[in-house]
Structure 1
Amino acid sequence: MGQASVDSPGLVLVGRYFKKRRGLATSLAKTGTSLGSLVFPYFVQYLLNTFALRGTLLIMGGLQCQMFAFALLLREPESFALERRTKTKSTNNEVAEITNPGVNIEMKLLRSISNDQKKPQTMRPRTQSESDKYAVYQRHPSRLESDSNQSFLDSLSQSRILMYLSNTDLLSSSAADVNTETVEAISNNKSEKETTDSCKHKLSNILDLSLLKNFVFILLMAIAALAIGMFLGPIYIPALMIENGANEKDTALFLTALGVSDVASRLFVGVIADLRFIKRHHIMMTSLLLGGITSQFTDYYTTFELQIVFSLIFGMSLGPYAALLPVVLADFLGQQNLGKSMGFIFCVHGACIAAYHPLVGTIKDTTGSYVMAFRVFGALCLLAVVLLFFIPNISRLEKVRQKKTMC
């Protein structure tokens, strides 16, 4: 839950900040995961040897808590535009008050009248203090800039007060008090209604299942379910290589080679994806095809050199899928649906990983080797490649269907 809460919002924000270089930005953001897989195994082993398990967990927990500080620095791109609009509006209001002194005089007079009327009054349409002030104001017509301002004062002093005189319950209150209370009550009711509507709107956005009616998204979820099996490879590669005669001390080298190729491939495909001479989903297809084919020959990697080569190629097949998945989702579903689609995709990833681990154990117990498990995951990747091939056609059909639905 913690990993999903960190990874998905970060990728969505990166996608909203970048448009022209979105592929490279997403690849750089995902590179941190690969770099961590290179550094932390050795670091955790050092901590275990030095501080034992309890101290290691405390130190790792402290490092994880640093994400709170970095998360506080994250901001949506719209927040900068909102700040600019607020500053501009504030500046315009200040300029208007300076250039229009008549408005200031009028507002001060109205506030003064309202304050006087909050005192207990006798039954009459206009208090003495108000009459005096109104008379003074009438003797200085230059303070009003137009006839509309004069008519506004007339309506405030006469019509709105006489409006309440027919109600005997209101005789002990001034017109300004009644008017203020009425406006406040209306504003409170409106504010409560807006708050309720806002909560309902946010809840409907969180639980929005409209994407499940999109055939392109359903196909992308199926591809994600098939391709995620490849990411179990780094967990089982050491055991597979030991089965093929590798030394236990060399297993760390295999993971290091896999991590290096993973980082390099993510950076490379990020640059290539933004050049646009190769479609992004074609790059993803190529990487999954490479991993699927390589996984079919795992029982032949019996020498140290071949095992290193396999680790490098396997890492190259993982990087492009992880780096380009958010970009491909934005390409086919739109940037506005990236957050929702990433949430569903991560749910699919989590459910499939939870199911694939017992599957690997069952295959190992049945066959006595991890070779068949890698072949199964490789076959699933090849099936994901076939589905990716039909994504553009399904996307065109979905657009036609949506246009007919709108009509």
Structure 2
Amino acid sequence: MAGTAASMQSETKVRKVKAPDGGGGWIVVFAVLAFNIIFDGCCYSFGILYIKILEEFNETKSNTAWTGSLFFSTPLLLAPIAGIITRKIGSRLATMLGGLIATVGFAIGSLSNSLAMLMVFYGLVGGIGMSLPYFNSIKIVTDYFDKRLALASGIAECGAGLGTIIFGPLTEYLVSTYEWRGALFIISGIVSNIIVCGALFCPVKRNKNKTCNKNCTSHYLPCSCCFKSRYSMDVSEHSVSHVPDGCETTPETEVRCIYVSQLKNIQFLMFAISNFVMYFWNHIPYIFIVSNAVDIGISLQKASYFLSIIGFVHMFGIIGYGVLCNRKCVNRMVVYGISNGMCGVSILLVPVFQEYVPFAILSGCFGLFSAATEALLSCVLIDIVGKKAFDNFFCGLILFTEGVADLLGTPFAGFLVDNTRSYDTTFYVAGGCVTATGFLYLILSRNRTEHTDCEVTVQS
């Protein structure tokens, strides 16, 4: 097989292709930024709605937490399906369709007369709608940027911080003025702007040059000279000679064997496990810090400012991580690991302090260090598995595992609160687990095999 692979490789010319790294890609970054403001704003302000929903339906904290958990996790759980739909109808149409579904889910959810109905329409239908634009918001930036990927991702993902800054006080004002039903209905109108964001997801433009090489031998995509964007021209970073022994050299088996070999990669497995733990506890501060503050005597209005502090610092943190890790001399995995560890420490210390100022400081620390997750996740994963594998399989797989973690994490945290009748245990356990993920990332960084995709190998 090795001889066959070598002869096949010798018969093909290897050409280097670069991503646009600018131009229309900045329009895409702006659209993703706007989407993240809306999506993350809705997610991270749920802690304010959570208090009112608890009062409305008089359910346990664990049962009520399922509403937010479904909304957080469904976009991630359905990432593989969203990827399939995107390949069929394109990023633009898929995002617009998802925005429409989410808008309808939020609007009907505002009419809920039971917690179960709210779970179905706000949590499930709203989450299903968000799955399409969420998947595309992660993938499409990597299509247009290569050398500037960390910077572009940082700018796009800082919408998470902006969304928290805007939606925290906004949701508190809407709830106080129109009750939670009216607030949710107004938010559904804001969510409809995702349709506009989708319209700005520029489709891949084909090169009008008709002198395409008809003898192109690439197994994965049409001839590389027919496309301008990196996504269109990107083929597996593994050449034919890198297919694991024992696999047939057919197009389908080559790709399948490459992915199977990556699934057995200890570095990827450690990344997946630590990422699962991180997302299992990631939303705990957003949901419980407000209700915890209210329980110790801080007013709801003042407690809502903690979300704004998280969002404000988070926004600048994402941009900062993007600028820092865009430098070749910076080990992104080390930065990622240290940041996750410090994020866990900031959660761990919440029960220790019971006053407004320390709460505000810890909120800022959490906002800063948690920014690494959103700014660097795709970059770190691409470093481990490569761009082609990331696009076609591992992006959806990691998002799916994050969805499972989100789905189970929030209700489990609510279960701990219900049984201990205190938020302290939840913060201690969450902080300890997140701190441990930081150490796992640091261990992973010691023996990292990096896939550099600033230049993509194309066989033609």
TM range (shorter): 0.5 to 0.7
Corresponding residue number in structure 1 for 2:416: 363
Asked if residue 265 in structure 1 is aligned to residue 392 in structure 2, the reply is: no
**Per-residue CA shift, 1:252-292, capped at 9, x if unaligned?**
12111111111111111111011233211111112111121
- 1:349 is paired with a residue whose SS is helix
Amino acid at match of 1:215: I
Q: Is the 8 A contact 1:230 1:378 kept in 2?
A: no
Paired with 1:323 and 1:49, the residues of 2 have a C-alpha distance of 33
Relative to structure 1, the CA distance from residue 374 to residue 58 in structure 2 (aligned partners, 3 Å threshold; closer, same or farther) is closer
Unaligned runs of 5+ in 2: 1-127, 213-250, 452-460
Q: 2:329 & 2:298 partners in 1: Cα distance? A: 41
One-letter code of the match for 1:63? Answer: I
RMSD: 2.8
Are 1:11 and 1:29, in contact at CA under 8 Å, matched by a contact in 2? Answer: no
| TM-score (norm: length of structure 2) | 0.55
Aligned twin of 1:34: 161
SS in 1 for 2:209: helix
Residue 14 of structure 1, aligned match among 128, 141, 146: 141
SS in 1 for 2:298: coil
Asked whether the equivalents of residues 234 and 255 of structure 1 are also in contact (C-alpha less than 8 Å), the reply is: yes
Post-superposition shift, 1:61? Answer: 3.2
Change (3 A) 1:75 1:241: same
Deviation per residue, 1:32-64 (Å, 9 max, x gap): 122122212433455556666666555433433
* Sequence identity (%): 22
Q: Which amino acid aligns with 1:269?
A: Y
Contact 1:243 1:369 in 2 (8 A): no
Report if aligned partners of 1:301, 1:310 keep a CA contact under 8 Å in 2.
Answer: no
Cα offset, 1:9, TM superposition: 1.8
How many residues align? The count is 280
Any unmatched runs of 5+ in structure 1?
90-199, 399-407
Report the AA paired with residue 280 of structure 1: R
- C-alpha separation in 2, matches of 1:248 and 1:46: 11
| Match status 1:83 vs 2:210 | no
Kept in 2, the 8 Å contact 1:16–1:335? The answer is no
Q: Match of 2:405?
A: 352
Contact 1:294 1:314 in 2 (8 A): yes
CA deviations 1:304-346 (Å, max 9, x no partner) are: 2111111111111211111110111111111112232221111
Mark the CA change 1:56 to 1:244 in structure 2 (over 3 Å): closer, same or farther: closer
SS at match of 1:274: coil
The residue that corresponds to 2:376 in the other structure is 324
Contact 1:288 1:381 in 2 (8 A): yes
Distance 1:273 1:252 in 2: 32
Shift in CA distance, 290/333, structure 1 to aligned 2, threshold 3 Å: same
Deviations 1:364-395 (A, max 9, x none): 12322111111111111122122212324554
What does residue 389 of structure 1 align with? 442
Say which structure, 1 or 2, has more relative contact order (CA 8 Å, 6+ apart). Answer: 2
Q: Cα distance, 1:357 vs. partner?
A: 1.8
Separation in 2, partners of 1:20, 1:397: 15
Based on CA coordinates, which of the two structures has the bigger radius of gyration? 1
Q: Does 1:250 align with 2:302?
A: yes
Specify the code of the residue in structure 1 equivalent to 2:287.
Answer: I
Q: Indicate if the aligned counterparts of 2:351 and 2:424 stay in contact, CA closer than 8 A.
A: yes
Aligned equivalent of 2:430, options 369, 374, 377:
377
Matches within 5 A, 1:44-55: 44-47=171-174
Q: TM-score, normalised by structure 1?
A: 0.62
Amino acid at match of 1:260: F
